[in-house]
């Protein structure tokens, strides 16, 4: 009977079972039918986020359960900062005039509306820590981060009475060390341009010293957070406003959010095209990596293509949006916008297209200043 109620998600289950092959959802104290489910199906079900697991209730996978269980009330009053981090949703979805045309309407999901890192990475920070049964006050959390996941984890850690230490690659902006220290975290800069290049050292330190290492690159709670929240939010927003989602464009770092959106929308709706964006070879765009540097989930997510964008192109797009619609977005958002423009030019996009803008441009003052003096004559 539970299987029967998964109508509409049937195609997602094999993906999720495969993505989560080595992972098990936490046991739930339930009786009845769920006990009869095999482990993999139970894990898939948990990952998709049904709120009503007990068997007497219908198992709801509808986007509406997002509204009833997650969204804060209209007054946006929360019991604590952690409650705010977990329940202040959805983040806005706004149509970009400057990128929409006859054929495709471009809807930007503004992911700087989160309290700790002012980025999409708050979502995985609280989800990875609150779903970790090993979390206890006084423990130290460590993570390799280009900045945003670190800020999210430190924010949550401070609320939970945990200590935190972040490991940064050389490419993170200079001022970031100071920001982390101000927030009470330890900071170490390691040799390496990408977070994945310093990951080995962080894993080793965590193992040696018995520290809590959420590990956003390997931890399936990363993609699950985006399945349960980011994807459902967009689905809910679309259903409330009569949008029919036909395309999704997003940046690739760990590949968590784009993989989740791909799995969710491709299995839920027919004909949705999903595109990832990676930096051009040799370029560094904060938060992003190239697929060949290793990503756990994107290969399984069935994306239709991965586009390359250079740092200069991403910057030009940041300037263009700031000067047309007044939104100053981060550089990975600029890369997503450039890829969207290119896909529109090729006639690949149609109908309502969601583009995920991971964070805000003010956070990149150092980098924007350097780019402005280099690229300015051309923008």
Size of the site for ligand PLP (CB under 6 A): 20
Would you say 111 or 342 has its CB closer to ligand PLP? 111
Site for ligand PLP in 204-223 (CB under 6 A): none
254 binds ligand PLP (CB under 6 A): yes
> Could you say which of 91, 255, 316, 344 contacts ligand PLP (CB under 6 A)?
255
DSSP at 114? S
Q: Which stretch binds ligand PLP (CB under 6 A): 12-20, 203-211, 232-240, 248-256?
A: 248-256
Work out whether 253 is an interface residue with ligand PLP (CB under 6 A): yes
Q: Binding ligand PLP by CB under 6 A: which of 187, 225, 248, 251?
A: 251
Closer CB to ligand PLP, 246 or 257, in the complex: 257
- The 10 Å Cβ neighbour count of residue 375 is 15
Considering only residues 329 to 368 of the shown chain, the ones binding ligand PLP according to CB under 6 A are 330, 332, 358-359
SS3 content of the chain, % helix, strand, coil (to 5): 45, 15, 40
Asked if 120 and 114 count as a contact pair (C-beta separation under 8 A), the reply is yes
What track of x and - describes contact with ligand PLP for positions 116 through 145 (by CB under 6 A)? ---x-x------------------------
x/- contact string, 284-323, with ligand PLP (CB under 6 A)?
Answer: --xxx-----------------------------------
CB of 48: closest distance to ligand PLP in angstroms?
18
**Rounded to the nearest whole angstrom, what is the least distance from the CB of residue 364 to ligand PLP in the complex?**
9
Contact residues for 237 (Cβ-Cβ < 8 A; gap 6+): 90, 93, 243
Reported in sequence order, the residue ranges of 156-233 that DSSP labels E, i.e. its strands, are 163-168, 186-189
Sheet with 93-95, edge to edge strand ranges: 93-95, 104-110, 351-357, 245-251, 273-279, 305-309
Residue 227 near residue 48, CB atoms below 8 Å? yes
Binders of ligand PLP among residues 141 to 160 (CB under 6 A) are 146, 148-149
Q: How far apart are CA 10 and CA 4, in angstroms?
A: 9
List 156, 202, 227, 252, residue binding ligand PLP (CB under 6 A): 252
Comparison of 59 and 319: residue with beta carbon closer to ligand PLP: 319
| Residue in this structure with the two tokens 């619609």, named with its chain if needed | 325
Residues 6+ apart with CB under 8 A from 148: 117, 119, 120, 121, 287, 358, 359
Using the 8-state DSSP alphabet, how is residue 231 labeled? I
Nearer to ligand PLP by C-beta: 252 or 354?
Answer: 252
List the Cα angle 247/250/251 in 5-degree steps: 160
Residues found near ligand PLP in the complex (CB under 6 A):
119, 121, 146, 148-149, 251-258, 286-288, 330, 332, 358-359
């Amino acid at each position: 009977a539970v299987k029967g109620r998964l109508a509409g998600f049937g195609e997602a289950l094999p993906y999720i079972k495969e993505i989560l092959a080595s992972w098990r959802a936490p046991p739930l104290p339930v009786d009845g039918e769920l006990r009869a489910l095999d482990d993999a199906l139970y894990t898939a079900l948990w990952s998709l986020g049904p709120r009503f697991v007990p068997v007497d209730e219908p198992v709801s996978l509808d986007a509406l359960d997002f509204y009833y269980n997650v969204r804060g009330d209209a007054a946006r009053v929360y019991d604590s900062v952690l409650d705010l981090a977990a329940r202040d949703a959805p983040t806005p979805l706004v149509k970009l005039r400057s990128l929409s045309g006859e054929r495709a309407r471009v809807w930007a999901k503004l992911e700087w509306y989160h309290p700790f890192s002012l980025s999409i990475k708050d979502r995985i920070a609280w989800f990875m820590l609150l779903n970790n049964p090993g979390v206890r006050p006084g423990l130290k959390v460590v993570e390799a981060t280009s900045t945003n996941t670190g800020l999210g984890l430190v924010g949550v850690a401070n609320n939970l009475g945990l200590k935190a230490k972040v490991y940064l690659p050389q490419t993170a902006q200079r001022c970031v060390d100071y920001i982390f220290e101000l927030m009470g975290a330890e900071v170490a800069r390691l040799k390496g341009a990408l977070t994945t290049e310093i990951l080995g050292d962080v894993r080793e330190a965590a193992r040696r010293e018995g520290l809590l290492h959420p590990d956003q690159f390997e931890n399936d709670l990363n993609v699950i957070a985006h399945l349960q929240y980011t994807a459902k939010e967009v689905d809910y927003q679309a259903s409330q406003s009569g949008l029919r989602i036909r395309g999704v464009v997003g940046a690739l770092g760990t590949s968590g959010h784009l993989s989740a959106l791909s799995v969710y929308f491709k299995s839920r709706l027919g004909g949705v095209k999903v595109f990832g964006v990676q930096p051009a070879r040799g370029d560094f765009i904060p938060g992003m990596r190239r697929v060949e540097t290793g990503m756990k989930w994107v290969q399984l997510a069935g994306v239709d293509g991965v586009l390359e964008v250079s740092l200069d192109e991403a910057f030009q797009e940041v300037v263009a949006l700031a000067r047309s619609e007044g939104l100053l977005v981060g550089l990975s958002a600029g890369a997503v916008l450039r890829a969207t423009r290119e896909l529109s030019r090729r006639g690949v996009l149609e109908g309502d297209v969601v583009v995920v803008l991971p964070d805000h441009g003010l956070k990149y003052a150092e980098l924007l200043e350097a780019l402005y003096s280099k690229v300015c004559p051309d923008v």
